[in-house]
Structure 1
């Protein structure tokens, strides 16, 4: 008996499955950065004298720049006065310190790496690290203790990301697109972004937490180390103000910016 005209042929049916999205996808640049931080942290397995030498040579020490101390003996020499503005950000005190920075970097750094691309992303991290070191130097000019940690770069990434994070379709909006599209939405001009409720609220909470750190209301000092909150603020300001220099996505202008602004406002 022949099959009906529109019936499927005899034999097992083949069911095509929809492609599955990975549970967690990270851009290659961010993945490489996290692996780099983890690999460098393996220095804790070295003998203490070698580990201390690494921190002295690559950590940021404000006293290194004190010209009044002619007999100051800090490893690294003149070169360390240059490279430590960035290299300090690749060192961490312990796994908790490293994990905390990576945790905050995952959402903001992921969006930024997708938006900037590898070269811009790494250059941006270096610039915000240097800005954090400069802020620390200006407020701790006689400090001997090394400053280490990626917090200034993480703060810079957070600041840069909020320039577009709340725009419709971006990763913190209520109508988010896929990760790549969400990272490429046009950013609002800085002057307009600073008038948006959710951006202002984010800034208030972020600065409030850092001020609390600064006055010591949150006791998070461990192993003789304290939070370099001035470096956080330096990196944050650099990320907020220098974002446009790195951003390859054209800005929203005129009526488009107004429309996007109204969209954000109606969704608060």
Structure 2
């Protein structure tokens, strides 16, 4: 049976791309980063006039990208992992995974720099949750000398290392635009995906 089109994944990609196009056309990224990016110090009382409520910024930050390279790679991974996650978890499941990944990423970013005044932007943390879920749901398919469970976790570790390494390389490029990689956010999002993928899968098929 042919799988339904991944409409939720398409929608997230579309909204993210539209946001980038609008900000590029108006050249207001710097302002948007301050007003809509996640700034850890705001949780300790830092005032940012006209900014979105701080509890909303982990989500609004996912719509802000500083360059085409960052945006393009994120959209590629979002589509690649999101479409398969959506097959397994359904549309509500993949949306919930993405949202929780965004908040998990923000929490991890706050944990390593609670007084930082630099805005965290980009969807990498939320997408990391999709990558983590993909790893746990689709696991190790190749023959291995290890037991299936050990092989699965080795596969997860390799995927996590590759994802974080690529994001670090993108972060080095982003520094030319005055941005820095939020590595802890990627780890936090990935862990969210690992932890909640199977519960979401069981919830979807709870009546099966």
Shift in Å, 1:148:
0.7
Report if aligned partners of 1:155, 1:236 keep a CA contact under 8 Å in 2.
Answer: yes
Matched, 1:74 2:53: no
Shift in Å, 1:227:
1.1
Paired residue for 1:108?
Answer: 81
Aligned mates of 1:133, 1:118 — CA distance in 2: 23
Q: Whose relative contact order is higher, 1 or 2, with alpha carbons under 8 Å and at least 6 apart?
A: 2
- Relative to structure 1, is the Cα distance of residues 117 and 134 closer, same or farther in structure 2, using a 3 angstrom cutoff? same
SS at match of 1:117: helix
Q: Deviations along 1:188-215, whole A, 9 cap, x unmatched? A: xxxx97x33154134145236637977x
Aligned mates of 2:34, 2:162 — CA distance in 1: 32
Equivalenced residue count is 196
Paired residue for 1:94?
Answer: 67
Aligned mates of 1:164, 1:213 — CA distance in 2: 22
Give 5+ residue unaligned stretches, structure 2: none
Shift in Å, 1:76:
4.0
Report if aligned partners of 1:56, 1:76 keep a CA contact under 8 Å in 2.
Answer: no
Q: Deviations along 1:22-50, whole A, 9 cap, x unmatched? A: xxx951111111111011112121144xx
Once the two structures are superposed, the pairs formed by residues 23-102 of structure 1 within 5 Å of their partners are 27-42=6-21, 43-48=23-28, 51-67=29-45, 72-76=46-50, 80-102=53-75
Paired residue for 1:226?
Answer: 180
Paired residue for 1:146?
Answer: 119
Q: Deviations along 1:158-187, whole A, 9 cap, x unmatched? A: 1111222136xxxxx46xxxxxxxxxxxxx
Aligned mates of 2:152, 2:198 — CA distance in 1: 20
SS at match of 2:161: helix
CA RMSD of aligned residues (A): 2.9
Give 5+ residue unaligned stretches, structure 1: 1-20, 168-172, 175-191, 251-268
Shift in Å, 1:106:
2.2
